[in-house]
Amino acid sequence: MHAGRGASRTIPAVQTSAPLAGAQPARPIDIALLVSVFVIAACGLLYELAAGALASYLLGDSVLQFSTIIGSYLFAMGIGSWLSRYFEDHLPAHFLRIELMVALVGGALPATLFIANAYAPGAFRFLLYGMVLVVGTLVGLEIPLVMRILKRNVTLKDLVSQVLTFDYLGALAVSLAFPLLLVPKLGLVRTGLLFGFMNAAVAVWALLLFRHELRRPRAHALACAAVLALLGTGIWGADHLTRLADDHFYQDRIVLSSSSPYQRIVVTQGRQGARLYLNGNLQFAQSDEYRYHEALVHPVMAAHGAPKRVAVLGGGDGMAVREVLKYPSVESVTLVELDPAMTDLFKDNAMLRRLNGEALSDARVHILNTDAFHWLQQGGDTFDVVIVDFPDPTNFAIGKLFTNSFYALLDKRLAASGYAVVQTTSPLIARKSYWTVVQTIESIGLQATPYHAHVPSFGEWGFVIASHRPWREPDALPAGLRFLSAQTMALMFDFPLDMARVPAEVNRLSNQVLVNTYEREWGRVER
């Protein structure tokens, strides 16, 4: 990705004039400028990644959002590189001012978009792409100006190689640090402001290096001080800015919030208890989560009779594991959850541990923080029951977990007498999406048994049992359930006319029709 980025913004700046004869040894000022290239390359890519991550968090469909953000950003950088030809005189002054503008707009990008999403959601897309185009244009101006300043003392051949080397090294550094260190430790808002501060620091560096060439050094110094003060204040108050946006968006009081490389996790507390949101989407409400998790777990666990080995894919909150552990026959539970931030939160936080009944601390539970698709591909032991509790297929990254390829892998890990169950969105609101999952499960030779339950926070919600043998209605359920009973369970397997089966395609990795169908059906409701 970055190779195209570097090329798009540096090629327009390369002059065709002959290289300087007898190049001089690199001066300290040239080395300082090359270090600046490293910093501005890191900052430029950081703003691009932050915009893509925010778009994925708040708009869903990570593949589409990252693709359009990166494309828009590269296009804007090309415009900036083209515009650089019109900057002829006073290049250090232009470079300094551009750095300050990048620092302000790029550094404030995550905070501005979070606040816009909370207070003016209708303007979010316009503001997102507007800021991406502005930052991209400014970033596209940076390297051409640096190259022209360096050209005073460096041959063309050495100039291009040195600038591109530092440019790509800066991009490499931030591409590794962004998901592994910056977002988990600092969050998007503080990370953006910190890198804006670094851009402003480059402007200060330029002020010191070229102070004798600047016509109004005092005015430039005041501008640098003002931008540094604004960004420093933002870094200091980043948590307050995030809470301000979150409090307005979620309405209930926020008691926990964190960002991981995979998602933004928010837990609120209101009159109806705790609620969990991932990327702004409600995952459970304490007031009725028992309906969802009892309906998800017990039809397959009780039907099996005496399950010993159970796998839970997704469900990092531990609620499904809590229900699984109500069966004394269970000897081991393997919880496969991609995001360690989820399992750590629901294992360590006292309030959340109470919600899942300390399930994640049970000695029988083994937590694996890995991608469920890859885990299935590795092969291994079979399971009596597999609980598949992924979020809805809002993007292609999640959509692969609803494909025939995934279910074929699941089939290999399911014991001959075992049952798997998949949470499968709403058969009322997203009717075709629901039956697409049923069709996909059947396409790989498993028997599919669809059913649904009413969960007030979500409405009618669907599930599908996948098995090698026919599902049989259990005679008894564990004591103490609040929603299900052996007498009423059969009602969940009856579909009224408005949720009855409709023709649907098989969801394959090569087409992922489910993601588009889901977006279309739920989009009608949201609009």
Query: What DSSP string runs through 395-452?
Result: SHHHHGGGSHHHHHHHHHHEEEEEEEEEE---TTTSHHHHHHHHHHHHHTT-EEEEEE
Could you tell me which residues come within 8 angstroms of residue 5 by beta carbon, excluding any fewer than 6 positions away? Answer: 45, 48, 73, 74, 77, 171
- Report the C-alpha gap between 337 and 315 in whole angstroms: 7
* 337 annotated binding-site participant: yes
Annotated catalytic residue 239: no
Phi, psi of 471 (to 5 degrees): -75, 140
The tokens 């004394």 sit on which residue?
A: 328
Report which of 32, 137, 134, 16 is spatially closest to residue 83, judged by C-alpha positions.
137
Phi, psi of 228 (to 5 degrees): -60, -40
* 263 annotated binding-site participant: yes
User: How does DSSP classify residue 335?
Assistant: E
3-state helix, strand, coil in the chain (%, to 5): 60, 15, 25
* 371 annotated binding-site participant: yes
**List 246, 389, 392, 411, catalytic entry:** 389
* 317 annotated binding-site participant: yes
How distant, in Å, are the alpha carbons of 5, 298, 461 from that of 434?
Answer: 40, 20, 10
Quote the tokens at residue 30: 């040239």
Three-state secondary-structure class, residue 333:
strand
Could you tell me which residues are annotated as the binding site? 263, 293, 317, 337, 371-372
Active site residues: 389
Could you list the residues known to form a binding site for spermidine, using ranges: 293, 317
